[in-house]
Amino acid sequence: MHDSQTNQIEACESLIREHRRMEKLLAQLEQGLNDLVHHTPEGMAVICAVMAEIEPEMNAHFACEEHILFPAVSPYHPMVLMEAEHEELMALRRDLMSVMGQVTLTDGDISRLQAIGARFINDMLDHIGREDAGIFPTCERALSNDEKRDVIEGMAKLRNKLKP
């Protein structure tokens, strides 16, 4: 291939697409959390449905980053902080889902759910912003085209393996 064509390879393209999808899901989650103020069963149903989509998306996305992208980039740039953020976000998600799992939600539970949900949404959006603005461009600059191809191929295999 000609050099100008090989420079077009972007290892993080699929991850960026997943970020846009996650932003839409987070907006739906925020709407569902806001709807809980009215104590409508629909609000909780929306939250449960959105979290059912967020959980596998997060799991696959973080797995692709932690098992494929970060190891490829770590010889050039350490990724320890991003992995720590992943752990914090997963813990927040577990907390959110734990409160959601309560059979009856009192006003206090709803307030707690909304607070944890708001923190989860804000932290996820901050994380996405850091990756989009810093980590992914750094990866694109650091990796050779062969390394990018390996990352793209590795992430595709991992996603297929993780499909239900």
Tell me the three-class secondary structure of 2-46, residue by residue: CHHHHCCCCCCHHHHHHHHHHHHHHHHHHHHHHHHHHCCHHHHHH
**Is position 158 within any domain?**
yes
pLDDT one-digit tens code per residue, 62-97: 999 999 999 999 888 888 888 999 999 999 999 999
Residue 19: count other Cβ atoms within 10 Å of its Cβ: 19
Residue 2 has pLDDT above 60, yes or no: no
**Is position 142 within any domain?**
yes
pLDDT one-digit tens code per residue, 19-76: 999 999 999 999 999 888 776 667 788 899 999 999 999 999 999 999 999 999 988 8
Provide the whole-model pTM: 0.88
Task: Write out the residue range of the structural domain in which residue 54 sits.
Answer: 10-162
Comparing 103 with 42, which gets the higher pLDDT?
Answer: 42
Number of domains in the chain: 1
What DSSP line would sit under 136-151, residue for residue? HHHHHHHS-HHHHHHH
